[in-house]
Amino acid sequence: MPVFPEEPEIHESIPGPGVPFPRESDAQALSTPAAGSASPVSPTVEAPAAARPTPASVQVPGPRPGPPRPAAPRPGPRAAQIPKPGPRPTPAGPTVQLVPSAVGAALERADEAVDLLLESGREPGDILVLTSDGPHPWQQHEMSFGEDHYWAQLAEGGDVFYADLALTRPARREVVVLVLGASEPGRAVLALEKARTHAASLLVVCGTTAQLTEGSAVGGQPVPA
C-alpha cells in the first residue's frame, strides 16, 4: 500500500485586511488588549505654533545716528604781547643854577661857588671849573709844570680841576662851574649847552646870565632864574 506524505499542520491565522474573521469571539479577543500588555500609544499632539508679532507690535528701528562731529578746537593761550618800544625819554640832565654877576666879576663869583660847594660836603674831585673867556689863573699855574702834569690831575681826580670850555679831552664830573666872560653875552646859551655835557648832576653858571633868564630852554630843560 502506498505511503502518502504527511500533510503539514495548518494553524489558524488572522486573516488579512478585508477578510472576515471566522468567528466573532476571535475578533473581540484580538481587539481587546491582554492584561499586562502595553497600552496603545496615543497620537502625538503638536504644540501650537508661536504667535507671529503683528505689524503694530514690531518696533521699527529709527534712523541710525551719524558719525560724531569733531569737537571744535579750543583756543590756546594767547601769546604775550610784546610792548612796542616807545620813544626814549630825554635824559633829565643836571640841575642848572644861575649866579648872575657884573661884567668882570664872573671869575670871582665862580671861586666863591667852589668854596660853597666844598663847604656843603662836595669832594674836590667832584668839581670841574670851565671858563669861556681865557684860562683860569689856576689852570695857567698848573700848565707851567707841563701838559702831562696838568692832564694827570684830571685822570687822578683828587682835586678841583680847571679847564677851558673848548677842551677836547673827555672830562665829566658831578658838578661843573661855568664862568661866562664879558665877551660872551651873545653866546651864553651855546656855552651852557657845552657845559651841560660835562656835568652829571649840577651845573652852576656864573656871569652874565641875562639871556638865560628870558624863558629860554637848553636841551628841552627849562633854565631856572
Grouping H, G, I as helix, E, B as strand and the rest as coil, residue 80 is coil
Sequence-separated (6 or more) residues with CB below 8 Å from residue 105: none
The answer, yes or no, to whether residue 7 has pLDDT greater than 80, is no
The per-residue pLDDT for 8 is 57
- Please state the rounded mean pLDDT for residues 188-203: 92
Name which residue leads in pLDDT, 212 or 121. Answer: 121
Q: What is the pLDDT of residues 60-70, one digit of tens each?
A: 666 676 667 76
Q: Cell numbers of 161, please?
A: 680841576
Grouping H, G, I as helix, E, B as strand and the rest as coil, residue 95 is strand
Name which residue leads in pLDDT, 53 or 68. Answer: 68
Sequence-separated (6 or more) residues with CB below 8 Å from residue 129: 110, 114, 136, 138, 160, 161, 162, 163, 176, 177, 179
Cα(113)–Cα(36) distance, integer angstroms: 159
Q: Band of the pLDDT at 168, cuts 50, 70, 90?
A: confident
Give the number of other CB atoms < 10 A from CB of residue 27: 14
Lowest mean pLDDT among 16-20, 38-42, 132-136, 149-153: 38-42
Q: Best-predicted range by mean pLDDT among 43-47, 78-82, 114-118, 215-219?
A: 114-118
pTM: 0.57
The answer, yes or no, to whether residue 111 has pLDDT greater than 80, is yes
Give the number of other CB atoms < 10 A from CB of residue 179: 28
Q: Do 205 and 195 form a contact (C-beta atoms < 8 A)?
A: yes
- Please state the rounded mean pLDDT for residues 119-129: 96
State the fold for domain 95-216: Rossmann fold (3.40.50)
Give me the residue spans of the domains in the chain: 95-216
Cα(176)–Cα(161) distance, integer angstroms: 10
Cα(161)–Cα(142) distance, integer angstroms: 10
